[in-house]
Structure 1
Amino acid sequence: MLLFQKRLTAFAVLVAFGIALLIGWIWRVTEPEQGLSITITTATEGGTYIVIGEQLARILVEYPGDLIGQAVAISSGGSVENIDRLLNAQADLGLVMAPVLATDPRRDGLRVLMSLYSDTWQVVIRRSASIGSLSDLRGKHIYIGAEGSGTKWGAEQILQTVDITESAYERVNISSYSEASEKLQTGEADAAFFITATPANAIANALSSGCCELLDLQDHVELISERVPGLEPRRIPPHVYDNQPDPVETLATTALLISRTNVRDVVVLEILNAVFDQMSEFAVAHIRVQDIRLETAFTRLPEGLEFHPAVLRFLDQESQKLRIATGVINGTYYELGKRIQLLLEKKGIVARVIHTDGSVENLRLVLANENTLAIAQYDVALAALWSEQVYSSSELVGILDIPSVEGLRRIAALHEESVHVVMRRDRIPDEAQESPTLAALADARVSMGPIDSGTQILARVLLHYHGISPSEQQLVLSVSDTVAQIGSGEIDAGFFVSYVPSEAFITVLQDDRNRLLSVDPRQIGKLIGVALSGSRIESSTYGAQRAGEPPIDTLTTRAVLVARKELPPAVVRTITEAIFEGEAFLGIEGGAATMAEDMRSLPLHPGARAYYEREGFVPRDWWKLSWEEIVGVAWRILAIVVILVAGYQGALKLRRDRTNNEIGRRIFAISLESDEPDSVHSLLEIRDGEIRERVQRRWWRKGELDQSRWRYLHDLINDRIRLAKENLTAALAEDLRELAHETGSDVADRRQRLQSLEARVWTYFQKGELDASHQSLLMEVIQRNLR
C-alpha cells in the first residue's frame, strides 16, 4: 500500500510538471517576447526606400510599448535582394515593388503588410540618340538600375516586351539616379530607366538641360501591363518638367511593405498602429509618405499576392474608430484634427486622424463612410450639399468635380480662411505691376493646389471669373511642391487658402521677391454670398508686401467640421461637447460663439443642435422634437397638469371649507328663542336662497358647496328650522292659552285678539314658518275659543 502511494505521488508530480511545461509553451506561443529586434531591408543609399525605411525604424522604436525594442534599416540592391533577404531570415520587413513580388515564385512565403505609394516609370532619352520608341533602344547605352533593384528588374521586363535582351544593348553600370542623370547630359548614356515619383530631381535636371526628353510608351503600355502583373497605365501631364510640352503615356507600380508569413500577428498589428498613429513623424522622412493613405493601403493587390492575416484584424479594429478627415500632414487642418482627436479621447471616443489632399477628398470620405468627420471649406461643403451652383455660374457645374453629399450636416464652424495668390514679381506683366490682380495669371504657370483640395476649387472658380480658361499651364501640386517650385522659379504663381496671417507657407509670403495678387473687386461682388465674403489682407501683413503697396482684396470662407446625418446624434452631441470644452486648446478665434455661428444654409446635425440648444447658442425649434423628446415633454406636461389639478382641488376644498364654516356660523347665529318668525324666515332664506345659489354657481365656481357639505348644511338648517317652528308654535300656544284663561275682559276685545292670533297663525303657515300639524292644532283651539 505504501509503495502504491509513493508511485501515485510520483505520477502526480510528473503530471503537474507536464502541465507547467504546457502552460509555459502556450504562454510563449501566445505572448510574444518583449524588446524584439526588427530589421528592415530597403534599397541603395540616396533612394526613397532607405529614407523611408530609416524613419520607419525610428517610429517603431519610439512607439509606446515594450514589444519592439530595436529596429534598424539596412541598404540593399533593391526589391529583388530584399525578397532574398526576407526568405533567408536576414530581415523581418522589406520594401519591394509590387510586380517584382507578384512574379516571384517564392511569394507564398511572404505577405503584404500594406501598400505604400505609387511610382511612375519614366524613360529619359537623349534627343540626339534618334530614339522614337522602345524598339529603338536596341544597341544603345542604357542605364537600367543597380544590380538587385526593382528598377533593373522592371526595365528588363519592359525591354523584353519588344524582344530586347541584355545582349542587345550596352548597360551603363552606375548605382544611382543622380549619376544616371549626369551620364545622360554628358552623352555617356543614351537612355535611362527611372521608377520614382513625378517630378523627380534627377529627371528634372536632365530635361532642363535641353538635351533630353521623356520617351512616350503609348504603343507598348497595353502590352506591358498585360504581361507584367502590378504594372498599370499612367499619364504624366504636360509641363511637369521643363521642355515637356506634351503629356507622356507610361506605366506605374506600387511600393509595398512586406514580411515573412510567420511574423506574429501581434507584431504586425504593432507595426501598422505605429505607422498610422505616428504619421506626422513618419512624414518627416520623405514627401512620398503623404501618399500613404488608410483608404488605399489595403485595397486590391496584384494577382498572387496576399495580405498578412493580421491586416484583417487591424482593419476590423479601425472600422470601430471614428475617422477625422483633415488635410496634408502637418498642415492647418491636420493639426486641428489631431487636437480634436485628443479632446475626443477624453470623452471615451477613439478616433483616427486621416491625412488627405483637403476638402474635396474629405467629403468623398464622408460620403463613403458615415462614421467620418471632415474638416472642409464652407463653400465646398455647401457645393456638396447644394451642387456647384453655390459659385453663381452655371458654366462651372460639373467641372469642379465636387461629390454630392445630400445628408451633409454641420457640427461646428471653425476658423476663417482667406485666398492668398502669390506670384513671383519677375513674372508679373509690366502693365500689371502697379496693382496686379489675378488677371496677371493669364499666361502664367500656376499651381492651383492639391488635386482634391478646396484650394484647387476656389482657384478654378477665380480663374474662371477673371476670364482665364483652363490650360496645361495650370498645375495641381501639393503645398510643399508649390512653395518649393515658386522659390526655384519652376512655376510662376500659386494659390493658397489659409487663415490670416498664415504660417503654413510662410517662406513664400515673407519673401519680397514674391507679391500677393488681388482678386478683382468686380469679381468679388459676383461671388459674395452665403459661403464667401469679401475681405482684405492689410499692408505689411507679410514680408512679400513692400512698403507703399496697397492692401490686398480677396475672398474669405470658413473651415467647418461636418459629418453625415446618419452619424448617431448621441455621438455627435458628445463630439460637440468635447470641442466646446476644448475651444481654447483648439485656438479658434471667437471661441464657442464662433463655433456655434449661425450657418442655416448648411444645416446643423441633430446631435450638435441638441448641444447648442442646451447651452443657449441656438433657439429651440419645438416642432423638430424627436420621439424621445416628445415623450419627455408629454411626461412633463402631465406632471404639470397633475400639480395644477391637485392645487386646484386643494384650493377648492379650502374654499368649500371656508364657505361651509361661514354658513354654519350664520345658521348658529340665528336665535331660536324668538316668538316671532324672524329666525325661521332667516333660516329659510339661507336654505332656499344662498345655499341653493352656491351649489348652482357657474362652472369656474361650481362646486363651492359639494354634495356632502350641502347635505350637511341642509340637514343642519332643517333641524334648526324645526326647532324654530317648535319654539314659534310654543309661543303662539302660550298666547292662546293666556287668552283662553283670561277673565274679566271685554268679550268683543277678546274675540278680536283671537281673530288676530288666527290671522297670524294662517300667515305663518302660508309662509312656511309653521308646520301644517301645528297650524291645524292651533286653528282648532282658536275656533273652539271663538265659539
Structure 2
Amino acid sequence: MPPEDRSTPRARRPLRHLRAAWPVVVTFIRSWGLMALLVAGGLAIAYRFVAPPPPATLRIATGPGEDSAYSVAVARYAEALRGQGFAVELVASEGSVRNLELLRDRRVDFALVQGGVAEAGRGAGLVSLGSVFFEPAWVFLRRDAGIGRLPDARGRRVAIGPEGSGTRVLALALLEANAVPADAIIASPLAGAAAAAALLAGEVDAAVFVSATPGQGIGTLMRAPDRAMLVDFEERAGAYATLLPALTPVRLPRSGFSLPEDLPAEDIVMLAPAAALLAQADVHPQLVSLFIRILQAAHRGRQVFAPEGRFPSALNQDVPLHPDAARWYERGPTFLQSWLPFWVAVTVERLWVLIIPLVTLGLPLIRFAPPIYTWQMESRVLRYYDDLRRIEEEAAAARDRAARDAVEAKLKALDTKVATLGIPSGYGALLYALRRDIAFVRDAVRTLRRG
C-alpha cells in the first residue's frame, strides 16, 4: 500500500478511509443480504401456515345462582385466565341445557355441562376438555305421601327444576327409566330452597336436586328425616348405570352430611352424572392445554364424592374428548408448557413451523455465503489481471519510445488504482501479488526502453 499522503488534511483522511472500506461493506451486504432475503422469503411463506394466537377475550357460561357449583367453578377459571392476561366475559345461564344452547349458538366459548345433557346428538360440533366433578341426584320423597320408590311417582307432583336446567333433564331420565314418562307426572319448576319448602308443606310429593355440594334446599330436607326421605339407590345402582351410562354410583357415608347431627343415619348410594367443560370443536389448541392446567388446579383435590386426583378426568364423556386433551391426560403437558410461562410457550409453539424453512434454507445458505463472499473479494483483485495482460501485450508490441511511455503510464495508473482498492487484510496476499506482477511488467517495459 502507498505511504499516506501527509499533504492530505487530517479532516479528509477518515473520509478517504471510509470510501476505501465502503466497497467491502457493499460486498458483505450483497453476499449475506442475499442469503437473508432468501431465508426471509421462506419464513414469510411459512408464516402463512402459522396458527393464529388465542383470542384475547373468552366467554364462559355460568350457572343458576352465584352459589351454584357451576358459578363457583367458573369464577375460579375466570380468575386464573385473567392472571394469564385474558379478558373474561361471564354469561349468565339457567343451567346445563341453556349452557349447551349457548355453546351451540357460539354465544360462549366454554361452558360446564352436566353429564347426559349433551347425549342424543345435542352435543354435535362440541368437544370436551374433561369432566371436573360429580353432581349427584338428591331425590327426596315426602314420607306421608305414600311413595317409596320412583315408580310410585306416577300421577304425583314432582319438583324437577326449571326449563333449561340439568336437574330437569336428569329427573325426567330417572323417571323414564322407571316407566314413568314426563306426561305421567305433574311437573313443578321449583328448585333449591323453594322446592324443599314445597315438599315440607305438602305442595309436592317428591323433589329432585342435582348438586355437587349440598345447598340450602338439600340441607333443609336432610334435617327433616321424619318428613323427607333421601332415596337410596344402592340395590338398583347397577341397573340405573346400565340404562343411563352417564350416571355413576357415588356413596354418601353415614354422617357424611353432618357429623354432629349424624346425618344421614346410614350410608346412602346416589346416582351422579359428571359435569364436563365443553367447547367448540375448533377451540384454539393452546387454550385446551391452558384450561386443563386450570382444571387441575381447581379440581384435583379431594371432593365430597371423589378422592384426590379423580378429577379432572377423561372419563364420563358425552361428547368426544378434544385430541389435545386426550394426549394431555395420557402423557401430561408438553415440554414447553411444563417449563415456560403460558404466553411464551404459546408463541414458541405457534412459530415452531418457521423452524422448518429456517433450517432447510438457513443452514445450506450459511454454508454458501462465505464462498460467495470470498469469490467476490477475490474477483475485485483478479479482474485487474485482464487489464495487466492487455498492457503486457501492448508492451510487447511497442516499437518506439512513445508507445513504451504510454504503456508505462497505463501501468502506473493501474498500480495507483490497485493501491487504493479496499480489500480486507485477509485478502491482502492477492493484492500484493497483483502489485508485484504489475511491478514485474513495469520492470520489463523499462528494460525494453533502455535497450
Partner of 2:48: 25
Q: Following TM superposition, by how much is the alpha carbon of 1:77 offset from its aligned partner in structure 2, in angstroms?
A: 2.3
Q: Does 1:263 align with 2:283?
A: yes
> Relative contact order (C-alpha < 8 Å, sep 6+): which is higher?
2
Partner of 2:68: 47
Partner of 2:185: 169
Provide, for residues 409-429 of structure 1, a one-character-per-residue CA deviation record: whole Å limited to 9, x for no partner. Answer: xxxxxxxxxxxxxxxxxxxxx
Provide, for residues 455-505 of structure 1, a one-character-per-residue CA deviation record: whole Å limited to 9, x for no partner. Answer: xxxxxxxxxxxxxxxxxxxxxxxxxxxxxxxxxxxxxxxxxxxxxxxxxxx
| Equivalent in 82, 87, 103 of residue 61 of structure 1 | 82
Q: Following TM superposition, by how much is the alpha carbon of 1:31 offset from its aligned partner in structure 2, in angstroms?
A: 3.5
Q: Does 1:84 align with 2:101?
A: yes
Q: How does 1:70-109 map to 2 (within 5 A)?
A: 70-101=87-118, 103-109=119-125
Partner of 1:307: 321
Residue 184 of structure 1 aligns with an amino acid whose one-letter code is L
Please say which structure displays the higher CA radius of gyration: 1
Q: Following TM superposition, by how much is the alpha carbon of 1:185 offset from its aligned partner in structure 2, in angstroms?
A: 2.0
SS in 2 for 1:307: coil
SS in 2 for 1:100: coil
Q: Does 1:181 align with 2:196?
A: yes
CA RMSD in angstroms comes to 3.5
Equivalent pair of 1:199/1:240 in contact (CA under 8 Å): no
Partner of 1:221: 237
Q: 1:25 to 1:318 in 2, by over 3 A?
A: closer
Q: Does 1:137 align with 2:137?
A: no
Partner of 2:7: none
Provide, for residues 737-761 of structure 1, a one-character-per-residue CA deviation record: whole Å limited to 9, x for no partner. Answer: xxxxxxxxxxxxxxxxxxxxxxxxx
Provide, for residues 714-735 of structure 1, a one-character-per-residue CA deviation record: whole Å limited to 9, x for no partner. Answer: xxxxxxxxxxxxxxxxxxxxxx
* TM-score of the aligned structures, taking structure 1 as reference length: 0.34
Distance 1:307 1:51 in 2: 24
Residue 99 of structure 1 aligns with an amino acid whose one-letter code is G
Q: 1:138 to 1:61 in 2, by over 3 A?
A: same
Residue 134 of structure 1 aligns with an amino acid whose one-letter code is L
Distance 1:197 1:32 in 2: 35
Partner of 1:190: 205
Equivalent pair of 2:137/2:272 in contact (CA under 8 Å): yes
Residue 192 of structure 2 aligns with an amino acid whose one-letter code is Y
Partner of 2:443: none
Equivalent pair of 2:139/2:231 in contact (CA under 8 Å): yes
Partner of 2:265: 245
Equivalent pair of 2:199/2:205 in contact (CA under 8 Å): yes
Q: 1:295 to 1:251 in 2, by over 3 A?
A: closer
Q: Following TM superposition, by how much is the alpha carbon of 1:129 offset from its aligned partner in structure 2, in angstroms?
A: 0.9
Q: Following TM superposition, by how much is the alpha carbon of 1:72 offset from its aligned partner in structure 2, in angstroms?
A: 2.2
Residue 108 of structure 2 aligns with an amino acid whose one-letter code is A
Q: 1:219 to 1:317 in 2, by over 3 A?
A: closer
Residue 76 of structure 2 aligns with an amino acid whose one-letter code is Q
Over the matched positions of the two proteins, sequence identity in percent amounts to 25
Q: 1:292 to 1:70 in 2, by over 3 A?
A: farther
Q: 1:147 to 1:21 in 2, by over 3 A?
A: farther
Q: 1:60 to 1:198 in 2, by over 3 A?
A: closer
SS in 2 for 1:98: coil
Equivalent pair of 1:121/1:252 in contact (CA under 8 Å): yes
Q: How does 1:739-758 map to 2 (within 5 A)?
A: none
SS in 1 for 2:271: strand
Q: 1:81 to 1:22 in 2, by over 3 A?
A: farther
Distance 2:236 2:327 in 1: 40
Structure 2 unaligned regions, length at least 5: 1-38, 341-451
SS in 2 for 1:26: coil
Equivalent pair of 1:54/1:72 in contact (CA under 8 Å): no
Equivalent pair of 1:265/1:309 in contact (CA under 8 Å): no
Provide, for residues 224-250 of structure 1, a one-character-per-residue CA deviation record: whole Å limited to 9, x for no partner. Answer: 211212112233323335563233333
Distance 1:301 1:217 in 2: 19
Equivalent pair of 1:117/1:292 in contact (CA under 8 Å): no
Equivalent pair of 1:134/1:217 in contact (CA under 8 Å): no
Q: Following TM superposition, by how much is the alpha carbon of 1:311 offset from its aligned partner in structure 2, in angstroms?
A: 1.6
Structure 1 unaligned regions, length at least 5: 1-15, 324-343, 346-787
Equivalent pair of 1:41/1:94 in contact (CA under 8 Å): yes
Distance 2:237 2:305 in 1: 27
Q: 1:90 to 1:142 in 2, by over 3 A?
A: same
Q: 1:41 to 1:161 in 2, by over 3 A?
A: same
Distance 2:293 2:252 in 1: 34
Residue 249 of structure 1 aligns with an amino acid whose one-letter code is V
Task: Report how many aligned residue pairs link the two structures.
Answer: 294
Q: 1:300 to 1:244 in 2, by over 3 A?
A: closer
| Equivalent in 95, 100, 125 of residue 141 of structure 2 | 125
Q: How does 1:203-602 map to 2 (within 5 A)?
A: 203-209=218-224, 210-218=226-234, 220-241=236-257, 244-276=264-296, 279=297, 282=298, 296-302=311-317, 305-315=319-329, 316-318=331-333
Distance 2:308 2:319 in 1: 20
Provide, for residues 420-451 of structure 1, a one-character-per-residue CA deviation record: whole Å limited to 9, x for no partner. Answer: xxxxxxxxxxxxxxxxxxxxxxxxxxxxxxxx
SS in 1 for 2:133: strand
Q: Following TM superposition, by how much is the alpha carbon of 1:292 offset from its aligned partner in structure 2, in angstroms?
A: 9.0
Provide, for residues 532-575 of structure 1, a one-character-per-residue CA deviation record: whole Å limited to 9, x for no partner. Answer: xxxxxxxxxxxxxxxxxxxxxxxxxxxxxxxxxxxxxxxxxxxx
Q: Following TM superposition, by how much is the alpha carbon of 1:205 offset from its aligned partner in structure 2, in angstroms?
A: 1.3
Distance 2:291 2:75 in 1: 14
Residue 281 of structure 2 aligns with an amino acid whose one-letter code is T
Q: 1:313 to 1:104 in 2, by over 3 A?
A: same
* TM-score of the aligned structures, taking structure 2 as reference length: 0.58
